Amino acid sequence: MPTLLSVPLAARTRKPPAEEMIPARAARGRLHSRLRMDAQPILEYHARSKHQLERYAPGPGYMDWATQPDPFRTYAGAPRVELPLVADELAVRFNDLRRGALPGPAPLDRDAIALLLELSLAISAWKSYRGTSWALRCNPSSGNLHPTEGYVVCARVPGLEAGVYHYVSREHALERRARLADASAPVGGVLVGLASIYWREAWKYGIRAFRYCNHDCGHAIAAVAYAVAALGWRTRYLAEAGDADVARLLGLDRDADFAQAEREQPDCLLWVGAGEPPSLDAISGLVAGATWAGAANQLSASHRDWPDIDHAHAAAVKPRPPLAARRSQSSSPWAQADGKTTVAAFARQRRRCGRGHKSTSIKCARVSHRPQPGQDKSHSNRRWLNRSVEVQSAHNLPKPLPCPAAICYSWCRRTSGLACWPPVGWPKCLVE
């Protein structure tokens, strides 16, 4: 058999015959034309929302504190279930997960669901400065505005009835939006739904809010995947579920429940657990005939509209089924934590932080892993562990570990033909 070097140079550099190139070139051209046509509204939004050398992208220009959105969505009238704080009992090391050494599957019960949420979407600390307090969460967010809302759909498990639940990070509690029939509820795992409130980001970032909401959704997916792996479970992204399916399942399409409140836009649906995910038809039938409870709270007294966000959202609505393409994964370049760091410790350090430059420091700040004194007693102060630390300035804070959620849930991921899962660089042990 001739080797490459034994083949004449002319033969090695010979172009394919024209009759072979034309069909392939034509096929690529048709594909590119279709993708560009489908994505044209998104590309136009991308161009309008870019920062330019001579100007910033359109935005409010200042922060109107009178209309600052409430960072916590609640549903008045929905039955509430308080969850225990159990993450400190978890001895799983973060580097074990990175190597794919998952622990044995944890039993599916209320404590497991509580741990899943505590290490992914919960409050990790409270920060205060000159009498003002604000929360930090385990899932990073642009500007710490947290547009992402989390939902859990589960069958009856020890300590928790079958239902559709909304997660309230402030109290580490679940609000039952709908009761499900035990016979129809999924078994062997739970469904985690994510949705975005665009106004939370638009209040500060204006037209660019649509970008940041989808980016933050990617952070939330990664945070959930790591918490799920710590339980010995798997995370599956249900690519076949369209936006309408997610909205129907989570109750986001119920106009009466959002009379004056800011709407939530469906992002995605994840199946987490040791069992196999149910079919989309079975998922769609879960809330048939369900009784819903709760009315969403209004986050701001007034709003500023950004039509470009509405147009981009309309152009990127994900159909059922989506045209999703899988791409091969590569090894992840993310840095490793030290071998002794537990998953719980890592999750609580996973937050947005300056690089420690003195010009961005906050003098005499206080970071507390519990609600601050003087806050509403309904914030369940008694259940937060006292893990406080006094610091002289922000650049003296212990340097947080690199965030493993540094992926972008592409803002055009719903456009026909552009969706892709899983992202390049994703650890193979975490998601399917």
pLDDT at 13: 47
Give CA separation, 117 vs 21, 31, 49, 250, in Å: 53, 41, 33, 17
Q: How many structural domains compose the chain?
A: 1
Q: Is residue 192 part of a domain?
A: yes
Q: Which domain holds residue 326?
A: 72-124+135-354
Q: What is the mean pLDDT of residues 407-413?
A: 40
Token pair, residue 296, equals: 């969403």
CATH number of the domain where residue 88 is located: 3.40.109.10
In a domain? residue 362: no
The mean-pLDDT minimum among 187-196, 253-262, 375-384 falls in: 375-384
- Which of 21-25, 84-88, 160-164, 280-284 shows the lowest mean pLDDT across its residues? 21-25
At residue 82, what are phi and psi to the nearest 5 degrees?
-75, 140
What pLDDT, on the 0 to 100 scale, is given for residue 332? 38
The token pair that represents 151 in the structure block: 């939902």
Can you point out the beta strands (E) in 155-314? Answer: 163-168, 173-179, 190-196, 234-237, 265-273, 295-296
Evaluate the omega torsion of the peptide bond into residue 84 and state whether it is cis, within 30 degrees of 0.
no
Tell me how far apart the alpha carbons of residues 165 and 177 are, in angstroms, rounded to a whole number: 5
The structure tokens listed for 343 are 């998953």
pLDDT interval class at 74 (50, 70, 90): very high
Q: Which residues contact 315 (CB under 8 A, 6 or more apart)?
A: 41, 42, 45, 415
- Whether 1 is covered by a domain: the verdict is no
Percent of the chain scored above 90 by pLDDT? 54
> Is residue 8, in this structure, part of any structural domain at all?
no
DSSP 384: S
Q: Which of 177-186, 316-325, 339-348 has the lowest mean pLDDT?
A: 316-325
Q: Which residue has the higher pLDDT, 127 or 329?
A: 127
Query: How much is the pLDDT for 26?
Result: 63
- Confidence bin at 11 (pLDDT 50/70/90): very low
SS3 368: strand
CA distance 20 to 16: 6
Name the pLDDT band for 364 (thresholds 50, 70, 90).
Answer: very low
> In this predicted structure, what is the pLDDT of residue 261?
96
State residue 96's pLDDT score: 87
Assigned domain for 47 exists: no
Decide if pLDDT at 181 tops 90: no
- Write phi, then psi, for 85 (nearest 5 degrees): -95, 105
Examine residue 295 and state whether it is found in any structural domain, yes or no. yes
**356: pLDDT strictly greater than 90:** no
Structure tokens, 192: 């985690």
pLDDT > 60? residue 327: no
pLDDT of 119 strictly over 60: yes
Listed in sequence order, the residues at least 6 apart from 262 whose beta carbon sits closer than 8 Å to its beta carbon are 69, 197, 198, 199, 200, 296, 298, 299, 300, 303
Helix (H, G, I), strand (E, B) or coil at 169: coil
Assess whether pLDDT exceeds 60 at residue 94: yes
Of how many residues is the chain composed?
432
Residue type (1 letter), 147: P
Distances (CA, A) of 15 to 28, 240, 328: 18, 41, 28
Cα–Cα distance for residue pair 2/25, rounded to 1 Å:
30
Sign of the torsion formed by the C-alpha atoms of 222, 226, 227 and 228: positive
- Between CA 137 and CA 350 the distance in angstroms is 8
- Strands 190-196 and 148-154 turn out to be antiparallel
Cα dihedral across residues 431, 348, 131, 396: positive or negative: negative
- Supply the pLDDT for residue 415: 41
SS3 381: helix
Q: Considering the domain boundaries, does residue 374 fall inside one?
A: no
Is the pLDDT at 389 greater than 70? The verdict is no
pLDDT level of residue 409 (50, 70, 90 thresholds): very low
**Structural tokens at position 325:** 């393409």
Distances (CA, A) of 336 to 38, 254, 402, 404: 39, 44, 8, 9
The answer to the question of residue 50 being in a domain is no
Question: Are the beta carbons of 200 and 144 closer than 8 angstroms?
Answer: no
- Give the model's confidence band at 34: pLDDT under 50 very low, under 70 low, under 90 confident, else very high: low
Q: Is 52 exposed, middle or buried (0-12, 13-18, 19+ CB in 10 A)?
A: exposed
Is residue 12 very low, low, confident or very high in pLDDT (cuts 50, 70, 90)? very low
pLDDT of the residue at 321: 66
Mean pLDDT, rounded, for 208-213: 96
Mean pLDDT within 44-61: 93
